[in-house]
Amino acid sequence: STATTKTSTSGDPLPSWNDGAVKKSITDYVTDVTKEGSADFIPVRDRIATFDNDGTLWSEQPIYFELFYALDEVKAMAPKHPDWKTKQPFKAVLENNMGEMMKQGQKGLLQIFAITHSGMTTDQFDSTVSRWADTAKHPIKKKRYKDLVFQPMLELVKYLQANQFKVFIVSGGEIDFMRAWAEDVYGIPKNQIVGSSIKSKYEYNNGKPFIIKTPELDFIDDKEGKPVGIMKYIGRRPVFAAGNSDGDLQMLQWAASNKFKNFEIYVHHTDSVREWAYDRKSHIGTLDKGLDEAIAKKWAIADMKNDWKVIYPSGK
Amino acid sequence: STATTKTSTSGDPLPSWNDGAVKKSITDYVTDVTKEGSADFIPVRDRIATFDNDGTLWSEQPIYFELFYALDEVKAMAPKHPDWKTKQPFKAVLENNMGEMMKQGQKGLLQIFAITHSGMTTDQFDSTVSRWADTAKHPIKKKRYKDLVFQPMLELVKYLQANQFKVFIVSGGEIDFMRAWAEDVYGIPKNQIVGSSIKSKYEYNNGKPFIIKTPELDFIDDKEGKPVGIMKYIGRRPVFAAGNSDGDLQMLQWAASNKFKNFEIYVHHTDSVREWAYDRKSHIGTLDKGLDEAIAKKWAIADMKNDWKVIYPSGK
Ligand SMILES: [Ca+2]
Ligand SMILES: [Ca+2]
């Protein structure tokens, strides 16, 4: 890279982080590995940082926000599908009957996922998700989902970028769903957003090419899939990895195996007042084995309640 | 992007291109779409350029260079596989019997490909390919394969990058094979190299994680696969696309469907003295339908013999 951007030496790069061991470990690490002549210096092209999304960059309770999208879309599509009024799992969605929806299990969820994520062009999907992200609000927080991102993590992403780290999202979420809004919200280019994917196919009709999203599964970017996705999309190990659940453990292990000095961090949801508090026994974002390994290996653990001055960006 | 790199206004950015219609069309395009206030101005994040590799950035005759790699590797591996002396397709490779090798057909090629591209870790594969690229020489040209890259195309890549285009390789070649050497040779980051792929899997033994390349096919990045690969890895249409064969036609069509002003270019192998001359009837790099469409749609066609002052970098 020929970029010559330098971190501003004046001012705190992480103003929403309380002073303490975690914040200091981050800035010590970045300072150490970016200083010319440091024994731990990392060449720019090896400064790869990977961030999980759900629960790491934005909230994920009471259900993954992408599932909120799918439920909203089923409702938006319903007028064109009158049979859904009597057909599960759609009936339950249209009646806001969460209990009945859960009874439909994995199979029901996959049907909802397929109908809302496939059968359209990539352009159509992108504009539908963008429109949703610009307007839809979280039922409990009463804010737009895209405003329920973690201010301290936005600062961390920016701080790393200012120090010439190339920051990637490596998430279990569907890749095109994230790309529709995350580039603007996080300042991470679309091609640096990695996720789970379904297959798509190229079609060419009357001189017009388009790409259709099919319901066929392509890749699951979770657990063992995360290091695999990293090698597939990035081609080198990260030196910095951030996650919040057992689904990120393999990604953190992969970063920890880097020959360069590396940094692993878990976001620990400990704030039942400002966000949510959950870990070992949560149905979403379970952090159990990962927490044990983080403690054993002295990885950083960001305690939301104690390490973060604010959770969400102010004024939104 | 926060980069502020500007193209040098002094000097010719494409010194190895002869002055003429093709060179002028390239510089006119880049000047037009990067000038603030131009009606055709393209925001930096939409300046996506995609280049085919074999036959577009380096030579591909008399067989794809990746196949030379596979044949060299079979020979290097042979001492550990004494049975290959009597077992096809390996026997033919070890005896340099091209006629017999061709008789082994697609199945034989796939066996050679599998044995040389899978069953090892990503680290092992990367270092084996790197070593080969640093030393192995082309049997006819007597130069290293990595020096048989096209100097005019290196200049074009650099020129686009200097004008804040993000340049990607989108090739039918195996992705990890290219990533092992192409980053340094072309100045294109590993994560911007897209290719065909085989599946890999994560393993964790005694506290050490590694990723193993398996023989299972994952994705073919050719023909219809190219626009699909572009959306998968990049997430937006290119505005600039370069290829040399019918395998690139869909990629060029995809670029041509961009709402921004776009540029499509075919490298036409017309130089039987300095490189090779082939197109419509070649067994490799067939350019037939693509040539018709390029002519009909007035896409640029770089005539190697007439448009390029030199083919390969001098002094190598
Ligand atoms: Ca998560
Ligand atoms: Ca080619």
| Rounded average pLDDT over A287-295 | 98
| Rounded average pLDDT over A8-13 | 74
> Can you tell me the distance from the alpha carbon of A45 to that of B183, in angstroms, rounded to the nearest whole number?
10
| Confidence class for position A315, pLDDT limits 50, 70, 90 | confident
List residues bridging with B302 in a β-sheet.
B267
In the predicted model, residues of chain B with pLDDT beneath 50 are 1-9
| Confidence class for position A10, pLDDT limits 50, 70, 90 | low
| Rounded average pLDDT over A154-183 | 98
Domain locations in chain A? 21-57+149-198+220-307, 65-120
Contacts of B275 by beta carbon, 8 Å cutoff, 6+ apart? B59, B61, B269, B304, B311
Range scoring the smallest mean pLDDT among A101-110, A145-154, A279-288, B262-271: A101-110
Range scoring the smallest mean pLDDT among A101-105, A273-277, A297-301: A101-105
> Can you tell me the distance from the alpha carbon of A313 to that of A243, in angstroms, rounded to the nearest whole number?
20
CA distance B225 to chain A (A): 7
Instruction: Give the pLDDT confidence score for residue B10 in this predicted structure.
Output: 61
Instruction: Give the pLDDT confidence score for residue A8 in this predicted structure.
Output: 47
pLDDT in tens, A222-255: 999 999 999 999 999 999 999 999 999 999 999 9
Domain B21-62+148-307 fold is Rossmann fold (3.40.50)
Dihedral through CA A17, CA A18, CA A21, CA A25, nearest 10?
30
Residues lining ligand 2 (ion), CB within 5 A? B 52, 54-55, 244-245
> Can you tell me the distance from the alpha carbon of A77 to that of A71, in angstroms, rounded to the nearest whole number?
10
CA proximity to A126, closest of A60, A53, A211: A211
Contacts of B49 by beta carbon, 8 Å cutoff, 6+ apart? B157, B160, B165, B166, B167, B168, B238, B239, B240, B241, B242
Nearest residue of A to residue B162 by CA position?
A2
Instruction: Give the pLDDT confidence score for residue B145 in this predicted structure.
Output: 98
> Can you tell me the distance from the alpha carbon of B46 to that of B256, in angstroms, rounded to the nearest whole number?
14
> Can you tell me the distance from the alpha carbon of B99 to that of B110, in angstroms, rounded to the nearest whole number?
17
Q: What is the ipTM of this complex?
A: 0.94
| Confidence class for position A316, pLDDT limits 50, 70, 90 | confident
Instruction: Give the pLDDT confidence score for residue A5 in this predicted structure.
Output: 42
| Confidence class for position A80, pLDDT limits 50, 70, 90 | very high
| Rounded average pLDDT over A287-308 | 98
Per cent of chain A over pLDDT 70 is 97
Residue B169, both tokens: 């390789």
CATH architecture of structural domain A21-57+149-198+220-307: 3-Layer(aba) Sandwich (3.40)
Nearest residue of B to residue A45 by CA position?
B189
Handedness of CA A90, A94, A98, A99 (dihedral sign): negative
| Residue A2 scores a pLDDT above 60 | no
Nearest by CB: B253 against A122, A183, A209: A209
Q: How many CB pairs under 8 A join A and B?
A: 97
CB contact under 8 A, B211 and A227: yes
